[in-house]
């Protein structure tokens, strides 16, 4: 087996947050009726007690309304719960805190009535009722923690365990999207500062110790409220006693951590590191298991379409940038060729994706065309300003940014790369005076992503999309493509073509994700929302599994 040289790391001493044990109150007897029997057999419980998990992103906060921070997404699904959740990507909604629901379109609004289980408790013993759901959804809207919650018009308590949610401008898959995007907390217990380090939530695991930016240890919630096997979603299994997340930002260090036994499984291994865990035939080396999957994440170059940037005001400049980038070369250089090239700002897993787009031209690499468009743009006359390319600190995206910078320089565009940690990136991406181009990834269940809706106002207070775009014609096309009533293949295609022609966003590649675990981890369980996120509590472990830290 190949080994990389172990690099000694100087770790700064930090004060750990030693957190209280998971408590719980008395529970009512669970109701007996079932919406559906859960498919599949329970996962194997580990013989060992601990799994150490490498996470390739910082975890600045555990607050469920802090924002859609990547690091938090890796861990919060073990701590918090939604109203409903799928057990696999694209699956039907199954009970979580919510027991059942009805939905209907009334006067162009989506009306959803949810009945809760009447025995849901958080780790502090607080019972979750309809008031808490109303609070959670209203808070998610106010803070911008949920894109779908932006359309929340009202949340009303019907009785202690029934709530009605009304959404304006409903889109295809609206309810499924928001049901799996808003975590539920007790309204009286919630405090943004306290929950950032020691949340009291309803999930299968709770916080034992947390050092923001360094590590997080979760332990099994011994008083987890859902004891009825008929309703227990596979996502919320407790197959290991303790989960220790270790933040490892550099791909090479993730490899070293696996090789030395510092971690037992890595959430997202860089494709460039696979040679240390697979042979030339793609078979796992002795001592490891390797899992791969095509994700639902589209990596894209997002243009600042506000008045703050020259890029947003010049379509020919945006088109020149698109033609200047060799997508295949970019994927080869940034992710070792392990990515599917995009044919729009979309991916084939979206329910209304049109396969005909795969055979259509999508800004195929053409340096001469790029130079022609640049000459026709306002870029040179404006003094050839340096364009700011912003991204979150990440090994693969950093490589991609350097390659893109080279492509742009080849046609005469000056650029600088701005790399930030998760917290600053999450703030600056909605401040349009901070960047001209954004290298980021997004996921959506439909082609007409909610990110392009011009009611995306949580951070800026103005009617524009997430990248500052205000285009009434495009908004009309978005509405028709995403409306449950008006959507059609023709309307989705019109939206796609307008977005492609005007180059508001340039889709680059769809990520493949790789997870590597040590022998004894039998299978990986993915979050139904994001393929790069694994749920260690729901993974399958061999009877004789033991973490290196237990040996």
Name the least confident of 307-316, 357-366, 452-461: 452-461
Q: Find the mean pLDDT for residues 292-321.
A: 92
Q: In this predicted structure, what is the pLDDT of residue 29?
A: 34
366 band by pLDDT with thresholds 50, 70 and 90: very high
Q: In this predicted structure, what is the pLDDT of residue 267?
A: 87
pLDDT at 118 over 90: yes
Q: In this predicted structure, what is the pLDDT of residue 45?
A: 57
pLDDT at 37 over 50: no
Mean pLDDT of the chain: 86
CA–CA distance, 446 with 426 (Å, rounded to integer):
23
Q: How many Cβ atoms are within 10 Å of 237's Cβ, its own excluded? A: 18
Q: How many Cβ atoms are within 10 Å of 420's Cβ, its own excluded? A: 17
Q: What are phi and psi of 543, to 5 degrees?
A: -60, -30
pLDDT at 117 over 80: yes
Q: In this predicted structure, what is the pLDDT of residue 9?
A: 27
pLDDT at 167 over 80: yes
Q: Find the mean pLDDT for residues 515-536.
A: 86
Residue carrying the six token digits 């008929």: 230
pLDDT tens digits, residue range 75-110?
Answer: 999 999 999 998 776 678 999 999 999 999 998 899
Percentage of residues of the chain with pLDDT beyond 90: 60
Q: What are phi and psi of 333, to 5 degrees?
A: -80, -35
pLDDT at 32 over 60: no
pLDDT tens digits, residue range 199-238?
Answer: 999 999 999 999 988 899 999 999 999 999 999 999 999 9
Percent of the chain that is helix, strand, coil (3-state, to 5)? 25, 25, 50
Between residues 402 and 32, which one has the greater pLDDT? 402
pLDDT at 423 over 50: yes
Q: In this predicted structure, what is the pLDDT of residue 461?
A: 53
Q: Find the mean pLDDT for residues 332-344.
A: 91
Cβ neighbours of residue 380 closer than 8 Å, sequence gap 6 or more: 374, 412
CA 374 and chain centroid, separation: 34
Structure tokens at 419: 């790399």
CA 537 and chain centroid, separation: 19
Q: Find the mean pLDDT for residues 262-288.
A: 91
Between residues 49 and 16, which one has the greater pLDDT? 49
Between residues 448 and 59, which one has the greater pLDDT? 59
Q: In this predicted structure, what is the pLDDT of residue 293?
A: 81
Total residues belonging to the chain:
551
pLDDT tens digits, residue range 317-329?
Answer: 999 999 999 999 9
What Cα–Cα distance (Å) separates residue 430 from each residue in 71, 144, 458? 18, 11, 9
Q: In this predicted structure, what is the pLDDT of residue 47?
A: 60
Q: In this predicted structure, what is the pLDDT of residue 33?
A: 32
Structure tokens at 344: 């729009």
Structure tokens at 139: 């808070």
pLDDT tens digits, residue range 460-513?
Answer: 456 678 888 888 899 899 889 988 888 899 999 999 999 999 999 999 999 888
Per-residue b or e along 199-236, where b marks 16 or more CB atoms closer than 10 Å to that residue's CB: bbbbbbbbbbbbebbebbbbbbbebbbbeeeebbbbbb
Structure tokens at 160: 């202690």
pTM metric for this prediction? 0.71
Nearest Cα to 110, choosing from 158, 157, 155, 174? 174
Tell me the domains of the chain and their CATH numbers. Answer: 48-79+203-287+519-550 (3.40.190.10), 80-192 (3.90.76.10), 296-511 (3.10.105.10)
Name the least confident of 6-15, 147-156, 343-352: 6-15
pLDDT at 22 over 60: no
Q: In this predicted structure, what is the pLDDT of residue 440?
A: 93
CA–CA distance, 392 with 398 (Å, rounded to integer):
8
Q: Pinpoint the alpha helices (H) of 51-169.
A: 70-76, 130-143
Nearest Cα to 303, choosing from 508, 73, 95? 508
Q: What are phi and psi of 369, to 5 degrees?
A: -60, -40
The DSSP bridge pattern shows strands 505-518 and 288-303 to be antiparallel
Q: Find the mean pLDDT for residues 272-299.
A: 90
Q: How many Cβ atoms are within 10 Å of 346's Cβ, its own excluded? A: 26
The CB-side HSE value for 466 (13 A sphere, CA atoms) comes to 20
Q: In this predicted structure, what is the pLDDT of residue 294?
A: 80
């Amino acid at each position: 087996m190949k080994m990389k040289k172990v690099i000694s790391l100087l770790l700064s001493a930090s004060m750990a947050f030693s957190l209280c044990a998971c408590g719980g109150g008395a529970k009512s007897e669970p109701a007996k009726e079932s919406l559906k029997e859960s498919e599949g057999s329970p996962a194997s419980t580990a013989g060992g007690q601990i799994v150490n998990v490498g996470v390739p992103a910082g975890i600045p906060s555990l607050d469920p309304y802090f924002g859609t921070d990547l690091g938090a997404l890796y861990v919060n699904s073990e701590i918090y719960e939604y109203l409903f959740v799928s057990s696999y990507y694209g699956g039907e909604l199954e009970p979580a805190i919510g027991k059942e629901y009805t939905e209907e379109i009334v006067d162009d609004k989506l009306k959803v009535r949810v009945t809760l289980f009447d025995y849901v408790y958080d780790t502090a013993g607080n019972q979750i009722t309809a008031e808490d759901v109303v609070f959670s959804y209203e808070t998610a809207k106010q803070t911008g923690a949920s894109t779908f919650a932006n359309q929340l018009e009202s949340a009303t308590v019907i009785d202690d365990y029934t709530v009605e949610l009304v959404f304006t401008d409903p889109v295809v898959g609206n309810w499924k999207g928001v049901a799996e995007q808003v975590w539920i907390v007790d309204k009286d217990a919630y405090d943004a500062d306290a929950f950032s380090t020691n949340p009291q939530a309803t999930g299968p695991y709770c916080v034992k110790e947390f050092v923001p930016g360094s590590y997080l240890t979760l332990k099994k919630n011994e008083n987890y409220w859902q004891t009825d096997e008929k309703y227990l979603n596979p996502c919320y299994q407790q197959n290991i006693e303790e989960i220790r997340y270790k933040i490892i930002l550099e791909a090479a260090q993730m490899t070293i951590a696996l090789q030395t036994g510092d971690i037992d499984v890595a959430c997202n291994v860089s494709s460039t590191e696979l040679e240390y865990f697979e042979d030339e035939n793609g078979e796992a080396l002795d001592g490891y298991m390797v899992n791969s999957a095509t994700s639902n994440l589209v990596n894209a170059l997002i243009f600042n379409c506000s008045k703050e940037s020259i890029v947003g005001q010049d379509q020919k400049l945006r088109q020149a940038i698109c033609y200047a980038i060799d997508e295949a070369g970019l994927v080869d250089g940034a992710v070792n060729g392990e990515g599917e090239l995009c044919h729009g700002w979309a991916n084939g897993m979206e329910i209304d994706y049109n396969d005909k787009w795969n055979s259509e031209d999508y800004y195929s690499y053409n340096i001469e065309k790029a130079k022609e468009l640049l000459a026709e743009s306002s870029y040179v006359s404006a003094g050839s300003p340096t364009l700011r390319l912003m991204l979150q600190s990440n090994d693969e995206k950093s490589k991609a940014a350097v390659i893109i910078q080279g492509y742009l320089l080849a046609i005469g565009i000056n650029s600088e790369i701005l790399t930030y940690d998760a917290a600053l990136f999450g703030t600056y991406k909605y401040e349009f005076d901070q960047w001209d181009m954004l290298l980021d990834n997004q996921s959506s269940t439909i082609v007409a992503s909610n990110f392009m809706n011009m009611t995306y106002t949580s951070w800026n207070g103005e009617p524009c999309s997430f990248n500052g775009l205000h285009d009434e014609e495009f908004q009309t096309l978005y509405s028709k493509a995403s409306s449950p009533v008006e959507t059609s293949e023709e309307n989705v295609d019109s939206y796609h073509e307008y977005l492609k022609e005007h180059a508001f966003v340039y889709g680059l590649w769809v990520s493949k994700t790789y997870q590597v675990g040590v022998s004894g981890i039998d299978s990986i369980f993915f979050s139904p929302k994001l393929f790069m996120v694994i749920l260690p509590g729901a993974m399958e472990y061999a009877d004789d599994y033991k973490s290196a830290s237990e040996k």
